[in-house]
Protein backbone atom coordinates (compact mmCIF):
# COMPACT_ATOMS: atom_id res chain seq x y z
CA UNK A 1 0.00 0.00 0.00
CA UNK A 2 1.43 3.39 -0.95
CA UNK A 3 1.81 6.24 1.55
CA UNK A 4 -0.99 8.22 -0.06
CA UNK A 5 -3.34 5.22 0.18
CA UNK A 6 -2.62 4.42 3.85
CA UNK A 7 -5.63 2.91 5.62
CA UNK A 8 -7.54 5.58 7.55
CA UNK A 9 -10.42 3.34 8.65
CA UNK A 10 -11.60 4.18 12.16
CA UNK A 11 -9.43 7.29 12.48
CA UNK A 12 -11.02 10.70 13.16
CA UNK A 13 -12.67 12.14 10.06
CA UNK A 14 -12.84 15.83 11.04
CA UNK A 15 -10.23 18.23 9.70
CA UNK A 16 -8.69 20.45 12.40
CA UNK A 17 -9.86 24.04 12.21
CA UNK A 18 -7.50 26.88 11.38
CA UNK A 19 -5.86 28.37 14.51
CA UNK A 20 -8.17 30.82 16.24
CA UNK A 21 -5.59 32.41 18.55
CA UNK A 22 -3.17 33.75 15.98
CA UNK A 23 -0.34 32.04 14.06
CA UNK A 24 1.25 28.88 15.40
CA UNK A 25 4.90 28.82 16.42
CA UNK A 26 7.18 25.89 15.73
CA UNK A 27 10.59 24.42 16.45
CA UNK A 28 11.66 22.13 13.62
CA UNK A 29 13.92 19.77 15.56
CA UNK A 30 15.32 17.84 12.59
CA UNK A 31 16.71 19.37 9.41
CA UNK A 32 19.78 18.00 7.61
CA UNK A 33 21.20 21.16 6.09
CA UNK A 34 24.35 19.46 4.78
CA UNK A 35 22.56 17.26 2.23
CA UNK A 36 23.18 17.55 -1.49
CA UNK A 37 19.59 18.69 -2.10
CA UNK A 38 20.23 21.94 -0.25
CA UNK A 39 23.37 22.36 -2.34
CA UNK A 40 21.23 22.14 -5.47
CA UNK A 41 22.54 18.68 -6.38
CA UNK A 42 20.14 15.87 -7.31
CA UNK A 43 21.34 12.43 -8.43
CA UNK A 44 24.82 13.80 -8.94
CA UNK A 45 23.77 16.75 -11.13
CA UNK A 46 23.90 20.44 -10.16
CA UNK A 47 20.53 22.04 -10.88
CA UNK A 48 20.68 25.27 -8.88
CA UNK A 49 22.88 27.20 -6.42
CA UNK A 50 22.97 26.30 -2.70
CA UNK A 51 19.82 27.79 -1.20
CA UNK A 52 19.46 26.75 2.43
CA UNK A 53 19.25 30.39 3.52
CA UNK A 54 16.16 30.81 1.33
CA UNK A 55 14.51 27.88 3.11
CA UNK A 56 15.16 29.57 6.45
CA UNK A 57 13.47 32.74 5.22
CA UNK A 58 10.40 30.77 4.19
CA UNK A 59 10.46 28.94 7.52
CA UNK A 60 10.45 32.19 9.49
CA UNK A 61 7.46 33.46 7.52
CA UNK A 62 5.64 30.21 8.36
CA UNK A 63 6.13 30.63 12.12
CA UNK A 64 9.14 28.34 12.46
CA UNK A 65 11.02 30.18 15.19
CA UNK A 66 13.77 27.59 15.65
CA UNK A 67 15.47 25.11 13.33
CA UNK A 68 17.77 22.43 14.73
CA UNK A 69 20.47 21.33 12.27
CA UNK A 70 21.11 17.61 12.56
CA UNK A 71 24.69 16.42 12.87
CA UNK A 72 25.17 13.25 10.82
CA UNK A 73 28.97 13.03 11.05
CA UNK A 74 32.04 14.98 12.11
CA UNK A 75 32.23 16.37 8.57
CA UNK A 76 28.94 18.22 9.18
CA UNK A 77 30.14 20.25 12.14
CA UNK A 78 31.86 23.16 10.39
CA UNK A 79 29.05 23.65 7.85
CA UNK A 80 26.39 23.61 10.54
CA UNK A 81 28.39 25.95 12.77
CA UNK A 82 28.67 28.41 9.90
CA UNK A 83 24.90 28.27 9.34
CA UNK A 84 24.22 28.87 13.03
CA UNK A 85 26.66 31.78 13.06
CA UNK A 86 24.78 33.32 10.11
CA UNK A 87 21.38 32.68 11.72
CA UNK A 88 22.00 32.74 15.49
CA UNK A 89 18.44 33.57 16.48
CA UNK A 90 16.91 30.82 14.39
CA UNK A 91 19.34 27.89 14.20
CA UNK A 92 21.09 25.56 16.61
CA UNK A 93 22.91 22.30 15.91
CA UNK A 94 23.56 18.80 17.14
CA UNK A 95 26.90 16.98 17.04
CA UNK A 96 27.20 13.22 16.76
CA UNK A 97 27.59 10.22 14.45
CA UNK A 98 24.48 8.87 12.73
CA UNK A 99 24.25 5.10 12.22
CA UNK A 100 24.62 5.63 8.45
CA UNK A 101 28.15 6.91 9.19
CA UNK A 102 29.07 4.23 11.73
CA UNK A 103 31.29 2.14 9.43
CA UNK A 104 34.39 3.10 11.40
CA UNK A 105 37.15 0.46 11.67
CA UNK A 106 37.67 -0.71 15.24
CA UNK A 107 41.24 0.63 15.37
CA UNK A 108 39.92 4.12 14.54
CA UNK A 109 37.13 4.24 17.14
CA UNK A 110 39.21 5.79 19.94
CA UNK A 111 40.57 8.58 17.74
CA UNK A 112 37.11 9.26 16.33
CA UNK A 113 35.61 9.52 19.81
CA UNK A 114 38.41 11.86 20.88
CA UNK A 115 37.69 14.11 17.90
CA UNK A 116 33.96 13.98 18.62
CA UNK A 117 34.57 14.96 22.25
CA UNK A 118 36.76 17.84 21.11
CA UNK A 119 34.08 19.16 18.75
CA UNK A 120 31.37 18.98 21.42
CA UNK A 121 33.57 20.65 24.05
CA UNK A 122 34.48 23.46 21.64
CA UNK A 123 30.82 24.06 20.83
CA UNK A 124 29.83 24.09 24.50
CA UNK A 125 32.59 26.61 25.26
CA UNK A 126 31.23 29.16 22.77
CA UNK A 127 29.06 32.00 24.09
CA UNK A 128 26.33 31.64 23.14
CA UNK A 129 26.78 27.95 22.48
CA UNK A 130 25.44 26.72 19.11
CA UNK A 131 24.89 23.15 20.31
CA UNK A 132 21.52 22.02 21.63
CA UNK A 133 21.91 18.20 21.68
CA UNK A 134 24.36 15.32 21.42
CA UNK A 135 23.63 13.18 18.39
CA UNK A 136 22.35 11.99 16.06
CA UNK A 137 23.15 8.57 17.45
CA UNK A 138 21.38 5.23 17.47
CA UNK A 139 20.58 2.27 15.23
CA UNK A 140 19.04 1.85 11.77
CA UNK A 141 18.70 -1.71 10.54
CA UNK A 142 16.76 -0.61 7.47
CA UNK A 143 20.00 0.69 5.98
CA UNK A 144 22.72 -1.78 6.90
CA UNK A 145 24.22 -1.15 3.45
CA UNK A 146 25.62 2.07 4.95
CA UNK A 147 27.02 0.36 8.06
CA UNK A 148 26.53 -3.18 9.36
CA UNK A 149 24.67 -3.94 12.58
CA UNK A 150 28.02 -4.69 14.21
CA UNK A 151 29.45 -1.29 13.26
CA UNK A 152 26.28 0.53 14.31
CA UNK A 153 26.10 -1.12 17.72
CA UNK A 154 29.78 -0.45 18.41
CA UNK A 155 29.55 3.26 17.53
CA UNK A 156 26.24 3.69 19.40
CA UNK A 157 27.78 2.23 22.56
CA UNK A 158 30.98 4.23 22.14
CA UNK A 159 29.05 7.50 21.89
CA UNK A 160 26.92 6.68 24.94
CA UNK A 161 30.09 5.88 26.91
CA UNK A 162 31.64 9.15 25.75
CA UNK A 163 28.55 11.08 26.77
CA UNK A 164 28.48 9.47 30.21
CA UNK A 165 32.21 10.09 30.73
CA UNK A 166 32.05 13.81 29.98
CA UNK A 167 28.78 14.56 31.77
CA UNK A 168 27.76 17.07 29.12
CA UNK A 169 24.62 18.98 30.08
CA UNK A 170 22.82 18.16 26.85
CA UNK A 171 19.85 16.05 25.78
CA UNK A 172 20.38 13.11 23.43
CA UNK A 173 19.14 13.27 19.84
CA UNK A 174 18.35 9.65 19.01
CA UNK A 175 17.62 7.49 15.97
CA UNK A 176 15.83 4.14 16.05
CA UNK A 177 14.60 2.44 12.89
CA UNK A 178 13.80 -1.29 12.60
CA UNK A 179 16.09 -1.94 15.58
CA UNK A 180 13.82 -1.41 18.55
CA UNK A 181 14.86 -4.25 20.87
CA UNK A 182 18.59 -3.65 20.44
CA UNK A 183 18.10 0.10 20.78
CA UNK A 184 16.25 -0.22 24.09
CA UNK A 185 18.63 -2.85 25.48
CA UNK A 186 21.65 -0.65 24.73
CA UNK A 187 20.35 2.71 25.91
CA UNK A 188 18.40 1.59 28.97
CA UNK A 189 21.38 1.48 31.40
CA UNK A 190 22.30 5.08 30.52
CA UNK A 191 18.85 6.60 30.97
CA UNK A 192 18.90 7.19 34.75
CA UNK A 193 21.87 9.53 34.36
CA UNK A 194 20.75 11.59 31.36
CA UNK A 195 20.96 15.24 32.46
CA UNK A 196 18.32 16.56 30.07
CA UNK A 197 16.53 13.51 28.70
CA UNK A 198 16.40 12.58 25.06
CA UNK A 199 14.34 12.62 21.88
CA UNK A 200 13.77 9.66 19.57
CA UNK A 201 13.28 11.56 16.34
CA UNK A 202 11.43 10.61 13.14
CA UNK A 203 9.87 7.68 14.96
CA UNK A 204 8.14 4.93 13.02
CA UNK A 205 6.67 2.08 15.06
CA UNK A 206 3.81 0.65 17.06
CA UNK A 207 1.81 2.07 19.95
CA UNK A 208 3.52 -0.42 22.28
CA UNK A 209 7.00 0.64 21.13
CA UNK A 210 6.17 4.32 21.56
CA UNK A 211 4.78 3.63 25.02
CA UNK A 212 8.00 1.86 25.97
CA UNK A 213 10.02 4.92 24.94
CA UNK A 214 7.72 7.25 26.87
CA UNK A 215 7.85 4.99 29.94
CA UNK A 216 11.64 5.22 29.74
CA UNK A 217 11.33 9.02 29.96
CA UNK A 218 12.06 9.82 26.32
CA UNK A 219 10.21 12.19 23.99
CA UNK A 220 9.12 11.15 20.50
CA UNK A 221 9.06 13.36 17.40
CA UNK A 222 7.22 12.68 14.17
CA UNK A 223 7.20 13.81 10.53
CA UNK A 224 5.94 12.56 7.18
CA UNK A 225 7.74 9.23 7.58
CA UNK A 226 5.61 8.57 10.66
CA UNK A 227 2.44 8.76 8.56
CA UNK A 228 3.26 6.09 5.97
CA UNK A 229 1.78 2.97 7.58
CA UNK A 230 -1.26 2.25 9.72
CA UNK A 231 0.65 1.07 12.81
CA UNK A 232 2.54 4.36 12.89
CA UNK A 233 -0.65 6.41 12.44
CA UNK A 234 -2.13 4.67 15.50
CA UNK A 235 1.13 5.33 17.32
CA UNK A 236 1.07 9.05 16.51
CA UNK A 237 -2.53 9.30 17.72
CA UNK A 238 -1.49 7.79 21.06
CA UNK A 239 1.61 9.91 21.85
CA UNK A 240 0.98 11.87 25.07
CA UNK A 241 1.07 15.59 24.33
CA UNK A 242 3.64 16.09 27.08
CA UNK A 243 6.08 13.82 25.17
CA UNK A 244 5.36 14.97 21.62
CA UNK A 245 7.70 16.93 19.37
CA UNK A 246 7.37 17.83 15.69
CA UNK A 247 9.81 18.00 12.79
CA UNK A 248 10.06 17.92 9.02
CA UNK A 249 13.27 15.85 8.66
CA UNK A 250 13.86 18.05 5.62
CA UNK A 251 14.84 17.65 2.86
CA UNK A 252 13.02 14.31 3.28
CA UNK A 253 9.72 13.42 4.98
CA UNK A 254 7.42 15.32 2.64
CA UNK A 255 3.66 15.00 3.21
CA UNK A 256 2.23 15.02 -0.29
CA UNK A 257 -0.81 17.24 -0.79
CA UNK A 258 -2.35 14.49 -2.92
CA UNK A 259 -2.28 11.91 -0.11
CA UNK A 260 -5.57 10.91 1.48
CA UNK A 261 -4.08 11.92 4.84
CA UNK A 262 -3.46 15.50 3.70
CA UNK A 263 -6.81 15.67 1.95
CA UNK A 264 -8.54 14.68 5.18
CA UNK A 265 -6.64 16.71 7.76
CA UNK A 266 -4.92 19.64 6.01
CA UNK A 267 -7.79 21.38 4.23
CA UNK A 268 -7.66 24.26 6.75
CA UNK A 269 -3.87 24.46 6.91
CA UNK A 270 -2.14 27.55 5.49
CA UNK A 271 -1.01 27.02 1.88
CA UNK A 272 2.63 26.26 1.27
CA UNK A 273 4.72 28.68 -0.81
CA UNK A 274 4.74 28.09 -4.55
CA UNK A 275 7.09 25.35 -5.75
CA UNK A 276 8.97 24.80 -8.99
CA UNK A 277 10.83 21.91 -10.53
CA UNK A 278 14.54 21.84 -9.75
CA UNK A 279 15.45 22.87 -13.31
CA UNK A 280 13.14 25.90 -13.03
CA UNK A 281 14.52 26.98 -9.64
CA UNK A 282 14.27 30.46 -8.24
CA UNK A 283 15.21 31.58 -4.74
CA UNK A 284 11.68 32.60 -3.81
CA UNK A 285 10.08 29.21 -4.45
CA UNK A 286 10.20 25.77 -2.90
CA UNK A 287 11.65 22.92 -4.97
CA UNK A 288 9.12 20.25 -5.89
CA UNK A 289 9.61 16.98 -3.99
CA UNK A 290 12.10 18.58 -1.56
CA UNK A 291 10.78 19.15 1.94
CA UNK A 292 11.43 22.32 3.95
CA UNK A 293 10.82 23.65 7.44
CA UNK A 294 8.03 25.90 6.15
CA UNK A 295 5.84 22.77 5.96
CA UNK A 296 5.80 22.34 9.75
CA UNK A 297 2.16 23.37 9.98
CA UNK A 298 1.28 20.44 7.71
CA UNK A 299 2.82 18.04 10.25
CA UNK A 300 0.91 19.75 13.06
CA UNK A 301 -2.42 19.53 11.23
CA UNK A 302 -1.98 15.82 10.50
CA UNK A 303 -1.06 15.08 14.12
CA UNK A 304 -4.00 17.11 15.39
CA UNK A 305 -6.32 15.31 12.99
CA UNK A 306 -5.08 11.89 14.09
CA UNK A 307 -5.45 12.82 17.75
CA UNK A 308 -8.82 14.48 17.30
CA UNK A 309 -7.71 17.67 19.04
CA UNK A 310 -7.03 21.25 18.03
CA UNK A 311 -3.93 22.22 16.10
CA UNK A 312 -3.26 24.85 18.80
CA UNK A 313 -2.96 22.11 21.42
CA UNK A 314 -0.56 20.12 19.28
CA UNK A 315 1.52 23.11 18.20
CA UNK A 316 1.90 24.62 21.65
CA UNK A 317 2.65 21.28 23.32
CA UNK A 318 5.34 20.48 20.79
CA UNK A 319 6.83 23.98 21.05
CA UNK A 320 6.91 23.76 24.85
CA UNK A 321 8.54 20.32 24.80
CA UNK A 322 11.16 21.17 22.18
CA UNK A 323 12.01 24.57 23.62
CA UNK A 324 12.31 23.10 27.09
CA UNK A 325 14.43 20.07 26.19
CA UNK A 326 16.79 21.84 23.79
CA UNK A 327 17.00 25.23 25.49
CA UNK A 328 15.45 27.02 22.54
CA UNK A 329 13.42 29.47 24.63
CA UNK A 330 12.60 30.42 28.19
CA UNK A 331 9.71 28.09 29.00
CA UNK A 332 8.24 26.24 31.94
CA UNK A 333 7.71 22.58 31.16
CA UNK A 334 5.19 21.87 33.86
CA UNK A 335 6.47 18.32 34.30
CA UNK A 336 6.91 16.49 37.58
Would you say 136 is a known binding-site residue? yes
Number of residues written out for the chain: 336
- Angle at the Cα of 214 from the Cα atoms of 98 and 6, rounded to 5 degrees: 75
- DSSP codes joined into one string, 183-246: HHHHHGGGGGG-SS-EEE-S----HHHHHHHHHTT-EEEE-GGGGSSHHHHHHHHHS-GGGEEE
Would you say 249 is a known binding-site residue? yes
Would you say 201 is a known binding-site residue? yes
Task: List, in sequence order, the alpha helices (H) in 87-188.
Answer: 109-125, 149-166, 180-187
CA atoms of 194 and 180, how far apart (whole Å): 20
- Angle at the Cα of 253 from the Cα atoms of 252 and 254, rounded to 5 degrees: 100
- Angle at the Cα of 243 from the Cα atoms of 241 and 244, rounded to 5 degrees: 65
Cα Rg for the chain, rounded, in angstroms? 19
CA atoms of 294 and 272, how far apart (whole Å): 7
CA atoms of 205 and 223, how far apart (whole Å): 13
Which are the contacts of 143, defined by CB distance < 8 A and separation ≥ 6? Answer: 99, 100, 177
CA atoms of 33 and 80, how far apart (whole Å): 7
Asked if residue 219 lies in contact with residue 173, where contact means CB atoms within 8 angstroms, the answer is: no
CA atoms of 325 and 197, how far apart (whole Å): 7
End-to-end CA distance of the chain: 42
| Cross-strand bridge partners of residue 174 | 137, 200
User: Residues annotated in the binding site, as ranges?
Assistant: 136, 175, 201, 249
User: Residues annotated in the binding site for a divalent metal cation, as ranges?
Assistant: 136, 175, 201, 249
Amino acid sequence: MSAKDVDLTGLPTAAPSAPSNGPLRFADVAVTATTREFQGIYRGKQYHPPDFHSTLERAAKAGVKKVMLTGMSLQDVEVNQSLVASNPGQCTLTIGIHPYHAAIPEHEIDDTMQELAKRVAEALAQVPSPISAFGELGLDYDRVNHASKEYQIRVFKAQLELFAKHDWQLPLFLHCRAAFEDFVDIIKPYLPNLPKGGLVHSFVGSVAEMQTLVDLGLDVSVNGFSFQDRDSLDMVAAIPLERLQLETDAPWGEIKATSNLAKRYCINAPPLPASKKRDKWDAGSMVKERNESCSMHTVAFVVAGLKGCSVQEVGEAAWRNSAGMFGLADVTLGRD
